[in-house]
Structure 1
Amino acid sequence: MADTRPHPETPAEPAAGGDLLVRDARLLVIDGGTEIPAGWIALRDGRVAAYGSPGTEPERAARTLSAAGRLVTPGLINTHHHIYQNLTRSYGPAVNGTLFNWLTTLYPLWAGLDEEAVHLSTYVGLAELLMGGCTTSADHHYVHPRPGLIDAQIRTARDLGFRFHATRGSMTRSTEDGGLPPRSVTQTAEEVLADSERLVKAYHDPEPGALIRVALAPCSPFSVTRDVMTATAELAERLDVRLHTHLAEDPDEDTYCLENYGCRPVEYFESVGWMTDRTWVAHCVHPDKEERERLAAAGVGVAHCPSSNMLIAGGTAAVQEMRGLGMPVGLGCDGSASTDHASLWLETRNALLLGRYRGGPAAMTARDALDIATRGSARCLGRDDELGHLRPGACGDLVVWDTPEVALAGALTDPVEAWLRCAPSRAWTTVVGGRVLVDGGELRLPALAEKLREHERVARRIQQLA
């Protein structure tokens, strides 16, 4: 049980002023062990300067925001997404298929992606994430019918001030080579590796507090060759960046790997040099107990995507068992064409519900789910020193949550449990690096209306490619 007793102000430098002061929280969650009723938190120069109990607040701050009795938590962190897919949300011909049916239906549409489409989908996707309390997101962009698409993503995230981990995805095995995607959305190994190195050198910021980082991310064992998997792992080691891919998502993947590689997906994953603590994988639904233990021993992280798992109905990860083994387990909303939303609040709630459905009523608490969405996700991205908590020195990424009063009526004892158990919550205030991007429940993105109109135009163009 977290400590909810009043705390004195933190030993960080007392708040003799600060860039931003958030006060009057019903409950301020600093991390899994520290919660402060009616607490306040001060941000300075984009980082947490101090926090404390009522009556110890700074006398001055450049801006003071009242949380007005709301829950305040660290910003939620999304470890797996395919943002471009919001251009094909709820696409009728794909909604009721298996994973492989779904992919083969949508690949021809995604061949229409260009820089404009990726910019608009990224703008809209990050806006939606902000409204769901997300302050950092990875994105797995693996469809490259034209060059420069990840550049467009990074420019958009940087312009918005959103903390963004771009992952340079890739597919090299087309239908002509025994894979699933058409040739129009694949690249050669040489193109993939050259552009991967270019993007890391151009955009990856290894410094603390970075807004932009780059990881390398072949799509899956069935969409790239063995040589690409091996060479990508070697390149990530040389450039000191992280690795990401889908792994053990669907029973069809087991069949594919056995037929093509003579082994199960986890064994193949290990054979190509990916069994390392610089790796986090999406889904990881179907490894057996021994395979989970091997992944855990190597420090491999998992992006748990509960809504996607349920909608595609391919099973779900053994989340609590993995956490019990010490694996970093974070949260992902997955692609908008499979889950049709990008709310990390909803994913956190679904992680709670699915964990209890899988393991029984004591298997998952709201605090467990919050920890997965914050500290666990930060571990997956290799940033748990400065993200996923609000201790002094951490990045100033936080959320003030808004739940309708009528939904909270009677919820008197535990604001964290009520946050996920009661009616839908949204961000009242979202702060990234000390910058307020959602204020009073409204996005502070002046071009949003225009971008939404342009997004609809481009979505119509792409869906007409069917």
Structure 2
Amino acid sequence: MTRTIIEGGFIATVDQGGTEHATGHVVIDGGIITAVGAGAAPDRDGAKVVDATGCLVTPGLVNTHHHLYQWLTRGYSQDSILFDWLTALYPLWSRIDADLTAAGAAGAMAVLARSGCTTVGDHHYVFPQGSGDIVGGLVQSASRIGVRLHATRGSMDLGASQGGLPPDFAIETTDAALAASQEAVERHHDPAFGSLVQIAIAPCSPFSVTADLLRESAVLARSLGVRLHTHASETAEEDAYCAERFGMTPTQYLEDLGWLGDDVWMAHGVHLDAAAIARYAATGTGVAHCPSSNGRLAAGIAPVRDLLRAGVPVGLGVDGAASNESGQLGVEIREAVLMNRLRTGADSFSVRDALRIATIGGARVLGRDAELGSLEPGKVADVAVWRVDGVEHAGILDPVAALGLGALPPLHRLFVGGRAIVEEGTLTSAEEPVIAEEVAAASRALAARL
């Protein structure tokens, strides 16, 4: 790879000390960051220089929770809470296949990349019979766009006839889900430093999965050395479901099944009481905070300040585009600031707090904070260069506030492992009009199946 110097911008490293340089440089060599500092880079010989004057330079953003296939079902059930929304959409989602998923995922990841996201965490849990290699389709789409992928092999085995929420035709058997989860890990997971694809095991939720599948998935994931992911404590209705069906909170139920630990992250965590937060902190269990989706479905505002003060790993997530039609991770930084200030006060959550959970916080949630999430020598060169000298932000006192309080700045460059996949706000890795046409066609095809 060409040695690259990013120079002249405001550098927010998001390292442990929160180091920032009003005018600084980042040096990339072989896909790895080799130097970060103030002023101009000392050695420019043979390097490609990216002029970042007028720009904010941050780590690439890390998305810890998404449902990429839902890019094909945006705009449905617009005024529903979670359970009603799911019930309305399960019949459509149960017609998905690998080709449609790949088309939707390419569209979703293109938008994520254009909003500063370099690492995409996806939770796919609908696998209709005969639908093909859906996880493989996700991997191919990530390669096409050029982002780093944390895919999960999700599952549902608790249908409506057994007291679950999804219809029986949308679920798998417990044994089939476990076997397919193991196959996905063995086929696609790469544990190496800087890997572009990693796989986790992710039964969907307490109201769509049996206790047996949750318990055995935890055993399987740990035997394979991969992480665990599920939805937890998203809504008041979920709390009521767990209280009625299991006689305990979602946190108590999941802990009984081996689902708290530093290899686990939960989506949402909106309805966590003090006892639950203490258990998350004690076990190192992470949380994916999804502010826009939680607002769209009126689920509530997660107690992020309390989670962070307790030491819980917290990352940022878009969630599925059927409950967050924006699909942009960069926008969630501002949403996190605003939502958490509504919950806990104007001085409770800063723009740098939000940038931190969007970068190193998310990397920690995914177990990759030694590789990703900050601009430090030795880390993988996932770097976002945001232009903040345009009409939307020119003159702003604090460049980080442009990202955390202002309109989403356009990207001057986005690097994944030192490779520029976005230049001047446009994908370089794939043709956006082609992706848009494919998404529109796939959306129509999926709707026609219903």
TM-score by length of 1: 0.93
Which shows bigger deviation, 321-330 or 338-347?
A: 338-347
Task: Name the CA distance, whole Å, in 1 between partners of 2:186 and 2:429.
Answer: 29
SS in structure 2 at match of 1:353 = helix
| Structure 2 equivalent of residue 46 of structure 1 | 31
Q: Deviations over 1:281-303 (max 9, x none)?
A: 00011121111101110110000
Select between 17-26 and 224-233 the one with higher mean Cα deviation.
17-26
Deviations 1:430-462 (A, max 9, x none): 100000000122111344322321211110122
The 2-side partners of 1:119 and 1:417 are apart by: 35
- The separation in 2 between residues aligned to 1:404 and 1:462, in whole angstroms, is 42
Q: Are the aligned partners of 2:385 and 2:413 in contact in 1 as well (CA < 8 Å)?
A: yes
Q: Does 1:454 align with 2:442?
A: no
Q: C-alpha deviations, 1:312-363, integer Å up to 9, x for none?
A: 1111210010000000000000000001122111101100111111111110
Aligned with residue 368 of structure 2, among 360, 375, 383: 383
**Cα contact 1:283–1:316 (8 A) shared by 2:** no
2:116 corresponds to: 133
Give the whole-Å Cα distance in 1 for the aligned partners of 2:288 and 2:102: 24
Q: CA deviation at 1:375?
A: 1.1
Match of 1:232 in 2: 217
Unpaired runs of 5+ residues, structure 2, are: none
Tell me how many residue pairs correspond in the alignment.
447
How far off its partner does 1:183 sit? 2.4
Identity of aligned residues (%): 43
Q: Within the alignment, does 1:178 sit opposite 2:163 as a pair? A: yes
* 2:392 is the alignment partner of 1:399: no
Tell me which amino acid in the other structure corresponds to 1:116.
D
Kindly state the Cα deviation for residue 69 of structure 1 after the two structures are TM-superposed.
1.8
Residues in 1 aligned to 2:243 and 2:340: alpha-carbon distance in whole angstroms: 30
Q: Which residue among 4, 7, 10 is the counterpart of 1:26?
A: 10
Instruction: For residue 6 of structure 2, give the secondary structure of its aligned residue in structure 1.
Output: strand
Equivalent position of 1:122 in the other structure: 105
Whole-angstrom CA distance in 1 between matches of 2:121 and 2:449: 28
Tell whether 2:271 aligns with 1:308: no
Q: Is this contact kept in 2: 1:398–1:432, CA < 8 A?
A: yes
Tell me, which stretches of 5 or more residues in structure 1 are unaligned?
1-16
Contact 1:133 1:427 in 2 (8 A): yes
Residue number in structure 1 paired with 2:314: 329
Name the CA shift for 1:147/1:261 in 2 (closer, same or farther; >3 Å): farther
Partners in 1 of 2:430 and 2:353 — Cα distance? 36
CA RMSD of superposed structures (Å): 1.5
Q: Residue 19 of structure 1 contacts residue 63 of structure 1 at CA under 8 Å; is this kept in 2?
A: yes
Give the letter aligned to residue 227 of structure 2: R
Q: Does 1:417 align with 2:408?
A: no
Correspondence for 2:332: 347
Q: Write the distance in 2 (CA, Å) between the matches of 1:269 and 1:61.
A: 54
Residues 141-160 of structure 1: pairs in structure 2 closer than 5 A: 141-145=124-128, 146-160=131-145
Matches of 1:408 and 1:132 in 2, distance apart? 16
Distance in 1, matches of 2:116 and 2:297, equals 25
Which of 328-337 and 396-405 deviates more?
A: 396-405
What corresponds to 1:441 in structure 2? 425
Deviation at 1:26, TM superposition (A): 3.3
Q: CA deviation at 1:30?
A: 4.8
Structure 2 distance, partners of 1:65, 1:218, is 43
> Aligned equivalents of 1:255 and 1:363: distance in 2?
30
CA distance change for structure 1 residues 409 and 455 in 2, over 3 Å: closer, same or farther?
Answer: closer
| 1:408 to partner: Cα distance | 2.0
Is contact 2:106-2:144 (8 Å) kept? no
* Contact 2:25 2:40 (C-alpha < 8 Å) held by counterparts: no
Q: Which among 67, 70, 92 is matched to residue 109 of structure 1?
A: 92
Distance 1:446 1:345 in 2: 20
Q: Which whole-Å CA distance do the structure 1 matches of 2:321 and 2:309 have between them?
A: 30
8 Å CA contact retained: 2:295, 2:301: yes
Name the amino acid aligned to 1:149. I
CA contact (8 A) 1:329 1:372 kept: yes
Cα 1:394–1:183 shift into 2, 3 Å: same
Report the AA paired with residue 403 of structure 2.
W
**Could you list the per-position Cα deviations for residues 4-32 of structure 1 after superposition, in whole angstroms to 9, with x for gaps in the alignment?**
xxxxxxxxxxxxx9621111113443535
Rate the CA distance shift 1:55–1:114 in 2: closer, same or farther, 3 A: closer
Q: Return the offset for 1:410.
A: 3.6
Alignment partner, residue 393 of structure 2: 408
Contact 1:28 1:38 in 2 (8 A): no
For 1:132 and 1:174, locate their aligned partners in 2 and report how far apart those are by CA, in whole Å.
Answer: 37
Match in the other structure for 1:338: 323
Q: Deviations over 1:226-262 (max 9, x none)?
A: 0000000000110110000000111111121122222
Distance 1:120 1:406 in 2: 34
Partner residue in 2 for 1:72: 57
* Equivalent residues of 1:18, 1:60 under 8 A apart: no
Specify the SS of the correspondent of 2:13: strand
Cα pair 2:157 2:209 within 8 Å, conserved: yes
Question: Hey, what's the Cα distance between the residues in 1 that align with 2:40 and 2:30?
Answer: 23
Find the aligned partners of 1:450 and 1:111 in 2 and give their Cα distance: 26
Contact in 2 for aligned 1:404/1:425 (Cα 8 Å): no
* Whole-Å separation in 1 of the counterparts to 2:202 and 2:330: 26
Q: Check whether the contact 1:27–1:69 (CA below 8 A) recurs between aligned residues.
A: no
SS at match of 1:458: helix
**2:427 alignment partner AA:** L
